[in-house]
Structure 1
Amino acid sequence: MSAGSTDVVAQLRAAGCVFAEDEARLLTTAATETGVDLADLVAQRVSGTPLEYLLGWTEFHGLRVAVAPDVFVPRQRTAFLVDEAADLARTLPTEHPVVVDMCCGSGALGLALATTLAAEGRRIDLAAADVEPAAVECARRNLTPIGAAVYQGDLFDPLPRQLCGRIDILLANTPYVPSEMIAHMPPEARDYEPRSALDGGSDGLDIFRRVVDAARTWLAPGGHLLVEASETQVPHAITVLTEHGLTGRMAESDELYATVVIGTKPAAR
């Protein structure tokens, strides 16, 4: 390790970066590839800027996904939601399932699901939507190359009406942190990511309720809604799904510390 690299590691470690050696390597590579001064990248990282914003990407579900400032950084635990969605997609009778990635952020979930199924020779018709302009721009960078449209607006509002009643898989990584808990989140999330991507209202389920309220109309018969939640929110979430005519269940991953709530619309008779 060179003296310069050692100095970068020392600065990052002093700033509290747990994986200082890995971050130093990534920042050094980013500086070389982009021409940005390494000292400037290190200074921004030391000040608290998320590593993913400085690199311009994050690894998610085995993919390099573009991210940018003011865009929610996909969490590794959410890979479990993608895996659950892939399992459900494999059971659908339709040849090309219609999938919507709602509250899409960078579009990582839709991209990962499409890539996973494409590796098996399966194709999906994918669309995505987010209310934040920065997220929409970033999602288009990730999803336009695979032919997916990305819409800007509040929840279902910007989606083409022809999707109504035809969505087979609805990925909705809604914000689910209770408002009063935002202040206790790590600074990288609390101070840099858009609050709209974090704040789920008093109990963390405000946006979830809005999604569920419209989901039965937008889902195809037998279609599935998948939402990440905390374990304590599951009973309330299942109740909301039931009240709206969806069959609810929970899936958990101990390995990823992930909890997903799944609501299924009754199949057509």
Structure 2
Amino acid sequence: MTATPLPASIDGIAARLRAAGCVFAEEEARLLLEAARTPAELAEMVERRVAGLPLEHVLGWVEFAGRRLAVAEGVFVPRRRTELLAREAAALARPGSVVVDLCCGCGAVGVAVAAAVPGVELHAADVDPAAVRCARRNVAAVGGRVYEGDLDAPLPTRLAGRVDLLVANAPYVPTDAVGLMPPEARLHEPRVALDGGPDGLDVQRRVAAAAPRWLAPTGRLLIETSQRQAPHTAAAIAAAGLTARVVRDAELDATVVVGSR
């Protein structure tokens, strides 16, 4: 497709973005102008955004917890609400803590914890090869390691019984609700990062069941969930032998369940 020539001004670009349904058109226009190296590249980026590609995929980065992280097309874009998960984990971490980020996507949560608490030993894993490629770029900046595989399967066995914090933003959208998500998510992000099974909790249950093998005697498990699903997430964590408590941030519309031995 040939890109339509564009006026290199925020107003001109914002008008096109607004017509395409972009709510924050002026801010997006400014970011696109800053990112483009040539008028042709700018025109192409605007065309991709107008066509529905998430802004973060167009830019090649996402801002999370005050940091810019690499993100590529087809990779899950971390939401602002997930900053609660990162914040709670960082509050529990100490220099030298072993931190594992499961279902890490681009590595946002683990990187945020490592940036907030220098000296943690960070490990991250994801089943999606595209996400792992992004995560390796991001996690390397804080000295961590990333593994490719299903949940905890690729983790080094030497971590068993040594993990101080196991964090997971596992998919928790019920299968029937995936089709109701905004097009940016359901059309441009991997289904494996969204679909949590019939009730949305299939992957969370697997994470909770696996956690006791990895956690240190004083280790904790933190799982992002929805407010509605929180009692069920807590029940899954309790079934794994951990004591669960729910943390809620109304401003972020975010919910995290913390499990302790």
Distance 1:25 1:247 in 2: 47
Does the Cα contact within 8 Å between 2:8 and 2:39 map onto a contact in 1?
Answer: no
Q: Deviations over 1:13-62 (max 9, x none)?
A: 00010111111111111112x78621111111011000001111011000
TM-score (norm 2): 0.94
Distance 1:82 1:209 in 2: 20
Distance 2:147 2:26 in 1: 39
* Paired residue type of 2:33: T
Deviation at 1:3, TM superposition (A): 5.1
In the alignment, structure 1 residue 234 sits paired with structure 2 residue 230: yes
In the alignment, structure 1 residue 8 sits paired with structure 2 residue 4: no
CA gap of 1:3–1:41, structure 2 versus 1, over 3 A, is closer
* Paired residue type of 1:10: A
Deviation at 1:264, TM superposition (A): 1.1
Q: 1:192 aligns with which of 185, 188, 195?
A: 188
Q: 1:150 aligns with which of 142, 146, 151?
A: 146
* Paired residue type of 2:156: P
Distance 1:36 1:62 in 2: 30
Distance 1:240 1:152 in 2: 25
* Paired residue type of 1:162: R
Q: Deviations over 1:174-233 (max 9, x none)?
A: 000000000110110110000000000011100000111111111111111111101111
In the alignment, structure 1 residue 45 sits paired with structure 2 residue 49: yes
Question: What's 1:117 paired with?
Answer: 117
* Paired residue type of 2:32: L
Question: What's 1:127 paired with?
Answer: 123
1:1-269 superposed matches below 5 A: 4-5=8-9, 6-32=11-37, 37-90=41-94, 95-118=95-118, 123-265=119-261
* Paired residue type of 1:136: V
Deviation at 1:7, TM superposition (A): 2.0
**Count of residues paired in the alignment:** 255
Q: Deviations over 1:48-97 (max 9, x none)?
A: 0000011110110000111111111110111111111111225xxxx511
* Paired residue type of 1:54: V
Distance 2:28 2:15 in 1: 11
CA gap of 1:35–1:144, structure 2 versus 1, over 3 A, is farther
SS in 1 for 2:117: helix
* Paired residue type of 2:62: T
* Paired residue type of 1:52: E
SS in 2 for 1:191: helix
Range with greater deviation from structure 2 (233-242 or 201-210): 233-242
Deviation at 1:235, TM superposition (A): 1.2
* Paired residue type of 2:141: P
Deviation at 1:146, TM superposition (A): 2.0
Question: What's 2:3 paired with?
Answer: none
- In the alignment, structure 1 segments of 5+ residues that lack a partner are none
